[in-house]
Amino acid sequence: MSLNGKRDGDPRAASTLERTGLLGAASEPELDRWTDAVRRDTGAAAAAILLLDGGRVVAKSLCTVAGHASELTEVPASLSRAEYLIGAAGSKPRSEHEGAYLEHAVSIDGQTVGVICVADPAPRPWGEDDRRALGTAADAVSTEIRLRLASEQADRVQELLRSHNEVHELIAQGAPLKDVLMELIAGIERHDPSVAACVVLLDQESSTLHPGAGPSLPPDYLAAIDGVVIGPNVGTCGSAAWSGRLTITDDMATDPKWAPIRDWVVQIGLRHCWSMPIKSSEGDVLGTLALYGPEPREPLPEHLTLMADGARMAGIAIERHRTLERLIHDARHDGLTGLPNRTAIFEQLDDALLRTHSKQQVAVLFIDLDGLKSLNDTLGHDRADEMLREISERLSSAVRADDFVGRFGGDEFVVIAEGVKDDEEAAELGFRLLDSISEPLPGVKSTTVTASIGISLMTGTGIDAREAIRQADSAMYTAKRSGRDRCVFFEGSQRIRTGRRLALARELRGAEMRGEMRLEFQPVTDLAASETVAVEALLRWSSPSLGEVSPVEFIPVAEDTGAIIPIGAWVLRESCETIARVNESLGRSLELGVNVSAHQIANPGFALSVQQTLHHAEFPAELLTLEITETALMRPDTVTARTLRELEALGVRIVLDDFGTGFSSLCWLKDHPLDAIKVDQSFVGGLPDDPRDRAIVAAVIDMAKALGCTVTAEGVETEGQLTTLRALDCERVQGFLLARPAPIEQLTAQLGERVAA
């Protein structure tokens, strides 16, 4: 089994000789000198050094009468060392007993790494001198091997130092952390090719590990440990990071810390893992440095040194990297809000513009808070700072996940949105931002901050970040000039653009106070008396940016946003005052119908506000009829029920508007006596020809009469309809046939004429 080319086996036995280079084929004059010497001194026919490398025996420096053998030969396993050398000494292989053989062990630090030996083809005795000669030669060979080992060791240390220097150099240059760690690991693996090194980084916040560098480990393994939560028994690295102590697993196959994935790690060729925590200068664990290998084994002391040195350097690299990251972050972020600053905004925008193409535009939204200076003055700087932080958080949560929010300076923010389809999408984002900003601020009662937003939309051709910002900024100024609290698009001419529904919502806010709302009145005619007995107030809105908008469109939006409450109050006040004046000037008692929405009557203070309005306008309660749609009345809501009772107590009349279009419940009608019902124009429209409509209208009129309610038919457009309604004994009618809704002046003129006539 091999780990990305790592050599199998215990390196301790193998490496001693291998590291000396003696197992190579080259002739070694240093050794040959000693085989020559022992052959001469003992008068033997052959001398050799036999190296013991693991299980095999390798003949090095074989010296016979014929001279030195040039090739390195492995002694066949079938031959003993004596048989081999006696054979080499004579013409044909001899048995041990036919010749003479003498050897002396060559040892290094108590470990036998070979023998130096002499042999003769014929038996002969060996004297003390022979043994001494061999002993001296063995010592010399041992010294030679030690020298070579020392020099090899020195080379490796030199190489390791070079690698350490390289690592320090990279750290000093501020190279990417990955590069530093890769060099560190390469150095360790060059130093000891039998291990695969790996650095994992600890994310302190989440207590999870993430691979930093481990080029010799299987990528699957690195992927598997990415995000692992550390703990006392979570693998070797997880445990080392958890305890902050060196953790050794000799054999992953038996260590309980690896139990959950034991089979898998063994299968991918990992058996040992030794892990050294990497610490910061303060002693916090930053990660771990681990050495893996394909066979179970304990680390040697030199491995521990290797890991300790490596972990120290990795620690410096990681700390340095983090400091640098912090510096870079600080240089690109705003200290107060933590948002990217102006520099970062320009960078981001330049990148975004490079990425964009014709179908996917980049929207730049330049946001400037309205009236921050005065807030600063009233709230004090600390509170204003807090408010800026609050607003920056709101902006960040109002944008989409991929959008970018930066603080341009002071009270200016920039949002960059990529992949924007069209104006509509950009406008929607702009309105979302306006809405998030204008939410009431906590602790600052009745203080609402608004903003002016300039939007520039770009396809990235020929425009740089500076120009894009300039455009958005200039559109923002237009937004300020045209009344603040709005979005303006930069288009050279700077159109004030709006996403329809959001635009309605935005423009509706305060519209009644800006004088954008007015009322028209439509007469209601009593058929028996053939005269106008009532008028219905109908709201009209002329928005400076959206033009004339129908109540059918804006009322539901006003209901959704709550704007209906102040708007409804305005309608009531305005209409009561108007009709009070008209009645006075004409000497009439025209009834007034005012439409109210479900939200208004569900508001606990509604009846009281009606009472105050009537009082203020000096308009008699009994002339006021509130027109409420069925859906509003059907709501089983206690506030609504109470409001209705309170209104009744005031003497105000309630009419069920658009009868037949909701879920008209007869039970409900039975329990809640109403004053009037308005038959919806959709039924009136079918008269006189549609027998079903006719039947329904007839039934509603009969039912209303039975319940004591007045019936009004709405939307009367033709004589045919009018005749039918008369025949069905409908009391009141309203519709274009009799009069269109019109400004009060027009109506007063008509009524005045009639009075005069």
Task: Kindly report the backbone phi and psi dihedral angles of residue 63, in degrees, each rounded to the nearest multiple of 5, phi listed first.
Answer: -125, 120
Contact between 582 and ligand C2E by CB under 6 A: the answer reads no
Contact between 552 and ligand C2E by CB under 6 A: the answer reads yes
In the complex with Mg ion, the residue whose CB is nearer, 487 or 537, is 537
The closest of 338, 465, 350, 355 to 396, measured between CA atoms, is 338
In the complex with ligand C2E, the residue whose CB is nearer, 82 or 747, is 747
Distance CA 162, CA 82 (A): 46
Helix axes 500-508, 423-438, angle to 10 degrees: 30
Contact between 370 and Mg ion by CB under 5 A: the answer reads no
DSSP letters, 721-753, are: HHHHHHHTT--EE-STTT---B-HHHHHHHHHH
Distance in Å, CB of 593 to Mg ion, minimum: 6
The closest of 288, 272, 284, 308 to 200, measured between CA atoms, is 288
Q: Which residues, 453 to 492, sit near ligand C2E by CB under 6 A?
A: none
Among 144, 591, 658, 731, binds ligand C2E (CB under 6 A): 658
Q: Nearest to Mg ion by Cβ — which residue?
A: 627
Let me know the angle formed at the C-alpha of 717 by 715 and 721, rounded to the nearest 5 degrees.
90
Distance in Å, CB of 596 to ligand C2E, minimum: 5
Contact between 532 and ligand C2E by CB under 6 A: the answer reads no
361 binds, among ligand C2E, Mg ion, none (CB under 5 to 8 A by kind): none
In the complex with Mg ion, the residue whose CB is nearer, 61 or 629, is 629
Distance in Å, CB of 556 to ligand C2E, minimum: 9
240 binds, among Mg ion, ligand C2E, none (CB under 5 to 8 A by kind): none
717 binds, among Mg ion, ligand C2E, none (CB under 5 to 8 A by kind): ligand C2E
Contacts of 736 (CB under 8 A, 6+ apart): 715, 716, 717
In sequence order, what are the beta bridge partners of 483?
A: none
Q: Which residues, 404 to 433, sit near ligand C2E by CB under 6 A?
A: none
Distance CA 727, CA 725 (A): 5
Contact between 717 and ligand C2E by CB under 6 A: the answer reads yes
How far CA 596 is from CA of 552, 572, 617, 752, in Å, comes to 13, 9, 18, 29
Contact between 657 and Mg ion by CB under 5 A: the answer reads yes
DSSP three-state, residue 704: helix
Distance in Å, CB of 567 to Mg ion, minimum: 15
Span interacting with Mg ion, options 271-279, 513-521, 630-638, 711-719, rule CB under 5 A: 711-719
Distance CA 451, CA 748 (A): 43
In the complex with ligand C2E, the residue whose CB is nearer, 196 or 505, is 505
DSSP three-state, residue 628: strand
Contact between 630 and Mg ion by CB under 5 A: the answer reads no
Contact between 725 and ligand C2E by CB under 6 A: the answer reads no
In the complex with ligand C2E, the residue whose CB is nearer, 32 or 658, is 658
Contact between 715 and ligand C2E by CB under 6 A: the answer reads yes
Q: Rounded to the nearest 10 degrees, how much is the dihedral formed by the CA atoms of 455, 457, 461, 466?
A: 20
Among 192, 255, 658, 731, binds Mg ion (CB under 5 A): 658
Span interacting with ligand C2E, options 111-119, 269-277, 473-481, 713-721, rule CB under 6 A: 713-721
Contact between 560 and ligand C2E by CB under 6 A: the answer reads no
DSSP letters, 301-335, are: HHHHHHHHHHHHHHHHHHHHHHHHHHHHHHHHB-T
Among 309, 627, 630, 693, binds ligand C2E (CB under 6 A): 627
Distance in Å, CB of 597 to ligand C2E, minimum: 4
Distance in Å, CB of 708 to ligand C2E, minimum: 22
In the complex with ligand C2E, the residue whose CB is nearer, 452 or 734, is 734
In sequence order, what are the beta bridge partners of 278?
A: 287
64 binds, among ligand C2E, Mg ion, none (CB under 5 to 8 A by kind): none
Q: Which residues, 589 to 608, sit near ligand C2E by CB under 6 A?
A: 595-597
Task: Dig out the tokens for 732 from the structure.
Answer: 């009141």
Contact between 591 and Mg ion by CB under 5 A: the answer reads no
SS3 for 461-527, per residue?
CCCCHHHHHHHHHHHHHHHHHCCCCEEEECCCCCCCCCCHHHHHHHHHCCCCCCCCEEEEEEEEEEC
How far CA 102 is from CA of 35, 65, 135, 603, in Å, comes to 13, 17, 11, 116
Contact between 574 and ligand C2E by CB under 6 A: the answer reads no
Amino acid at 452: S
Q: Which residues, 663 to 682, sit near ligand C2E by CB under 6 A?
A: 681
Radius of gyration of the chain (CA): 49
Q: Which residues, 318 to 347, sit near ligand C2E by CB under 6 A?
A: none
In the complex with ligand C2E, the residue whose CB is nearer, 580 or 716, is 716
Among 57, 555, 655, 696, binds ligand C2E (CB under 6 A): 555
The closest of 287, 355, 293 to 317, measured between CA atoms, is 287
Span interacting with Mg ion, options 156-164, 405-413, 520-528, 655-663, rule CB under 5 A: 655-663
Contact between 657 and ligand C2E by CB under 6 A: the answer reads yes
Distance CA 335, CA 354 (A): 28
Distance in Å, CB of 683 to ligand C2E, minimum: 13
Phi-psi region of 200 (alpha: psi -120 to 50; beta: other; left: phi over 0): beta
In the complex with ligand C2E, the residue whose CB is nearer, 170 or 632, is 632
Task: Dig out the tokens for 501 from the structure.
Answer: 């529904």
Task: Dig out the tokens for 239 from the structure.
Answer: 């445990």
Distance in Å, CB of 328 to ligand C2E, minimum: 57
144 binds, among Mg ion, ligand C2E, none (CB under 5 to 8 A by kind): none
In sequence order, what are the beta bridge partners of 524?
A: 534
In sequence order, what are the beta bridge partners of 413?
A: 367, 407
Q: Which alpha helices (DSSP H) does 90-176 contain, by range?
A: 128-173
Among 37, 175, 248, 538, binds ligand C2E (CB under 6 A): 538
736 binds, among ligand C2E, Mg ion, none (CB under 5 to 8 A by kind): ligand C2E
Among 208, 249, 522, 595, binds Mg ion (CB under 5 A): 595
Distance in Å, CB of 756 to ligand C2E, minimum: 26
Distance in Å, CB of 740 to ligand C2E, minimum: 7
Q: Please, is 164 exposed, middle or buried when counting C-beta atoms within 10 Å of its C-beta (0-12, 13-18, 19+)? A: middle
- Name the site residues for Mg ion (rule: CB under 5 A): 595, 627, 657-658, 714
- Name the site residues for ligand C2E (rule: CB under 6 A): 522, 538-539, 550-552, 555, 568, 571, 595-597, 627, 657-658, 681, 714-717, 734-736, 741
